[in-house]
Amino acid sequence: MRNINISFLLGLLLILTSFNSVNPPQYKLRTIVIDPGHGGKDPGSIGKNSFEKDIALSISLELGRIINENLPGIKVIYTRKDDSFPSLYKRAEIANRNNADLFLSIHCDSFSNKSVYGSTSYLMGLSKNSANMNVAKRENAVIFLEENYQETYKDFDPNSSESVMLLSLTQKAKVDNSTILANLIQDQFKNRVGIKSRGVKQAPFQVLWNTTMPSVLIETGYISNSAEEKKLNNKTHQVYLASAIFRAIRDYKKYLESN
């Protein structure tokens, strides 16, 4: 009788194990970290009348408000909520420590040609495109404002073969989801807000390098373009941008949780 019971229990355990492998727990989008680019002593790109850091913070706070109102089951965490200066390493650490499911870094771009305008969504990648690399270099330059940056970022070298190998391992699992979200954002910007989409691109952004979840850096427009700078500082336009990003997150959430 004892042998029968043991056999029964083992068989039941096998059935339950098989059932769980066929029906894994459904993925849920629970925590989003919003990262307003730059801040404090780092103004970011500088326009005629404004700083990137202030625009990024306004859009980020608006995005968080919309998420909280419409997706109350999602926890929103900011890397900064004021004019402070968290390091790039600290921003990624906040996301990793809180087991975030999504990391969004909000920025606005600049260029020597003042006529250039539009939005771009970036993924972490080792692009050989010089324009993409220049954007990454501008955003990564904040490293030099941090104390002990040589020690903190000693492993960050997009040109080394070791970094390429490490990146291929750590990014592979999240690049597909990052790409899906980035494309959804650009689609919302283009079709719902009427912003010129400059596409989804890859570049070695340090702030995305250390995150362990799907991550996108969003350049919402060009502060170097006077017309676009004016729009970026307009509260209504900031709400439109935040709403577009929210709708992309909502659609991304539906996609993940239904697949």
5 pLDDT higher than 60? no
Q: Is residue 87 part of a domain?
A: yes
pLDDT average, residue stretch 84-98:
93
C-alpha pair distances (Å), 43 with each of 33, 162, 212, 213, 244: 21, 32, 27, 27, 25
Residue 112's pLDDT is 93
226 pLDDT higher than 60? yes
215-222 and 119-124 beta bridge pairing? antiparallel
Neighbours of 9 (CB within 10 A): 10
Q: Is residue 92 part of a domain?
A: yes
Q: pLDDT of 234-243, one tens digit each?
A: 999 999 999 9
CA distance 175 to 171: 6
Prediction pTM value: 0.80
pLDDT average, residue stretch 153-164:
57
Q: Is residue 17 part of a domain?
A: no
Q: 157 is in which domain, residue-wise?
A: 27-258
Mean pLDDT is lowest, of 30-39, 45-54, 87-96, 203-212, for 203-212
CATH code: domain of residue 101: 3.40.630.40
Number of domains in the chain: 1
Q: Determine the angle formed by the axes of helices 161-188 and 235-258, rounding to 10 degrees.
A: 110
Alpha-helix residue ranges (DSSP H) falling in the chain: 2-22, 52-70, 88-97, 130-140, 149-152, 161-188, 206-209, 226-232, 235-258
Q: pLDDT of 100-125, one tens digit each?
A: 999 999 999 999 999 999 999 999 87
197-203 and 102-109 beta bridge pairing? unpaired
Q: Is residue 19 part of a domain?
A: no
Q: Is residue 12 part of a domain?
A: no
Mean pLDDT is lowest, of 19-28, 76-85, 109-118, 121-130, for 19-28
**Confidence label for 140 from pLDDT (cuts 50, 70 and 90):** low
Q: Is residue 142 part of a domain?
A: yes
C-alpha pair distances (Å), 61 with each of 68, 173, 191, 247: 11, 29, 23, 16
Q: pLDDT of 55-69, one tens digit each?
A: 999 999 999 999 999
Q: Is residue 2 part of a domain?
A: no
Q: Is residue 5 part of a domain?
A: no
Q: What are φ and ψ of residue 81, in 5° steps? A: -120, 10
CA distance 193 to 238: 11
